[in-house]
Structure 1
């Protein structure tokens, strides 16, 4: 974790760390075209509790500032069959910075998504869910992080 002179974690550094981690992970083995960071539409918050079901391709996040829940990407289409569990860091932390890495096909459509999280307690990074996107158009997913 990077700490600034005031003893606080620097958000820009946290975002850069998550970007680099997702780019190294390579969604589905493909290089990323974009990384989009989650922000609460209600209050602008950037700290979330996250639930995922990697098998179903499902993720949702709850803002830790205002409590607004957001179903991510195309997960609303799969919610009926999903059994999401709370994402947790090995340290036990359950509050995260969240971002999604997008790999794209040659035609610019989304090929694969990876939900990356950075623990707010110890800064540990991980991909908690990723799945293939096999339909078009898929550009709307960029706005559903």
Structure 2
């Protein structure tokens, strides 16, 4: 079992992608609004259950499909991921679950470019919802990141 702190706001529960999307779109006082949410779906097999690894210093996330074992980076994480560095941690729910359904929330600029990325996960064991990582996108064009959930 991996050790991982519980994300803020974890008292919410859900059972579907729509529940996770609604959670990601709740306004955060002083934060950026989320205008678009995309479900994490494995490009190889269509799977929707994942183990998620984070590299916090680099602000990067990688999901591994529990059906086929294929790993994919979320948003622009590939540019910042360091294969020579140990993964900071794997996401874990307060219930101990380490298997998740995922979605990415995007805050957009007026021109449609991505301003901020939020990695939301729903624990497959208990339904707990949380935002496990987020980071700013400081470049453009960046609308292509909407296809990298």
Per the normalisation by structure 2, the TM-score is 0.83
Segment drifting more, 134-143 vs 115-124: 134-143
Q: Alignment partner of 1:79: what SS?
A: coil
Give, in angstroms, the shift of residue 25 of structure 1: 5.3
The one of 118, 123, 126 equivalent to 1:122 is 126
* Count of residue pairs the alignment pairs up: 134
Change (3 A) 1:93 1:13: closer
2:46 maps to: 44
Give the Cα separation in 2 of the matches to 1:25 and 1:51: 26
1:132 maps to: 136
Give, in angstroms, the shift of residue 84 of structure 1: 3.3
| Unmatched runs of 5 consecutive residues or more in structure 1 | 1-11
Aligned pairs for 1:61-140 within 5 A:
61-80=63-82, 83-140=87-144
Per the normalisation by structure 1, the TM-score is 0.85
CA RMSD, 1 decimal:
2.0
| Unmatched runs of 5 consecutive residues or more in structure 2 | 1-13
More helix by share: 1
Runs of 4+ more than 3 Å apart: 25-28, 81-84
